[in-house]
C-alpha cells in the first residue's frame, strides 16, 4: 500500500512539474513580445458577444491604410517628391516599419491593425491572459490612448511640419474615436470609453 501511494505521488509530481514547465516556458520563454497580426485577434474578437472588434477594424480606414499607399494619387505624390512607400510605413502599418522577415510581410499589408494600439500580441494573445486586464497588461497589452492617435494624425496639419500630405483637415481624436469604437462586449453596459482611453 505504501509503495502504491509513493508511485501515485511520484506520478502527480511529474505531472505537476510538466504542467509548470510548459506554463513557464510559454510565459518566460520569449522576453520580448512580437507582432502576430490581426488574423490572430479575429479568432476571439469576431463574435457579437466579444464586441465584434475585428469586423469594426476590418471595415475601417485603418485596415486599408497600407493599400492607400498603392493608390495612383499616392504613387504620383511619392514620385513627384522623390519619396518611397518606406517613408510612409511609420503611420500606415501596424509595426510602424517595413517587414524585416518574410513572416512580417502579411502584418505590413494588413494596414494599421490591433497591435498598433494594443501592443505586440505574442505574449498576451491567449484566452486565459486576455480575460483578465491585469494579466493582459502584465504581458505587454495596452488599452490604447487617444493621445496615441496624434502620432500619425495631425491636430492641425496647417501648423504641423511632419504629417501625411493627404490629411488636409484638422484631426480630433475624441470625435474620430466614434468611427472606430470597439467595445469589449456589445451586450454589456458600456463605460465612457473616451474617458477610459484618455488614461
Q: Which of 34, 186, 51, 15 is nearest to 107 (CA)?
A: 34
111-to-29, 45, 63, 194 alpha-carbon distances in Å: 29, 18, 5, 23
Distance in angstroms (rounded) separating the CA atoms of residues 135 and 127: 10
State the pLDDT at residue 5. 72
Cβ–Cβ < 8 Å for 117, 65: no
Spell out the alpha helix ranges (H) of the chain.
Answer: 2-28, 38-45, 53-58, 65-68, 72-80, 89-92, 105-109, 114-118, 127-130, 133-138, 146-149, 173-180, 193-198
Neighbours of 181 (CB within 10 A): 14
Query: C-alpha angle with apex 74: 144 to 116, nearest 5 degrees?
Result: 15
Cell of 53: 472588434
Distance in angstroms (rounded) separating the CA atoms of residues 64 and 54: 14
State the pLDDT at residue 12. 62
State the pLDDT at residue 38. 95
CA-CA-CA-CA dihedral for 131, 197, 105, 63, to nearest 10: 100
Distance in angstroms (rounded) separating the CA atoms of residues 184 and 173: 19
In sequence order, the 6+-apart residues with CB closer than 8 A to the CB of 27 are 123, 139
State the pLDDT at residue 195. 44
State the pLDDT at residue 182. 87
Distance in angstroms (rounded) separating the CA atoms of residues 112 and 69: 12
Binned average pLDDT, 10 residues per bin, the chain of 199 residues: 66 64 53 91 88 93 96 96 95 95 94 96 93 92 93 92 88 93 62 44
Cβ–Cβ < 8 Å for 44, 38: no
State the pLDDT at residue 96. 95
State the pLDDT at residue 10. 60
Amino acid at each position: 500500500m505504501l509503495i502504491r501511494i509513493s508511485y501515485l505521488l511520484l506520478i502527480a509530481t511529474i505531472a505537476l512539474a510538466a504542467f509548470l514547465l510548459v506554463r513557464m516556458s510559454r510565459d518566460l520563454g520569449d522576453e520580448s513580445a512580437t507582432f502576430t497580426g490581426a488574423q490572430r485577434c479575429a479568432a476571439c474578437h469576431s463574435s457579437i458577444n466579444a464586441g465584434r472588434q475585428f469586423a469594426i477594424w476590418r471595415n475601417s480606414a485603418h485596415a486599408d491604410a497600407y493599400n492607400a499607399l498603392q493608390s495612383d494619387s499616392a504613387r504620383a505624390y511619392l514620385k513627384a517628391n522623390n519619396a518611397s512607400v518606406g517613408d510612409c510605413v511609420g503611420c500606415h502599418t501596424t509595426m510602424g516599419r517595413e517587414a524585416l522577415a518574410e513572416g512580417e510581410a502579411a502584418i505590413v499589408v494588413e494596414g494599421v491593425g490591433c497591435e498598433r494600439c494594443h501592443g505586440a500580441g505574442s505574449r498576451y494573445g491567449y484566452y486565459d491572459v486576455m480575460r483578465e486586464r491585469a494579466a493582459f497588461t502584465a504581458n505587454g497589452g495596452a488599452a490604447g490612448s487617444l493621445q496615441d492617435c496624434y502620432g500619425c494624425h495631425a491636430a492641425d496639419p496647417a501648423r504641423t511640419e511632419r504629417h501625411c500630405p493627404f490629411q488636409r483637415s484638422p484631426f480630433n481624436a475624441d470625435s474620430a474615436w466614434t468611427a472606430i469604437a470597439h467595445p469589449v462586449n456589445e451586450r454589456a453596459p458600456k463605460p465612457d470609453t473616451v474617458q477610459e482611453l484618455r488614461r
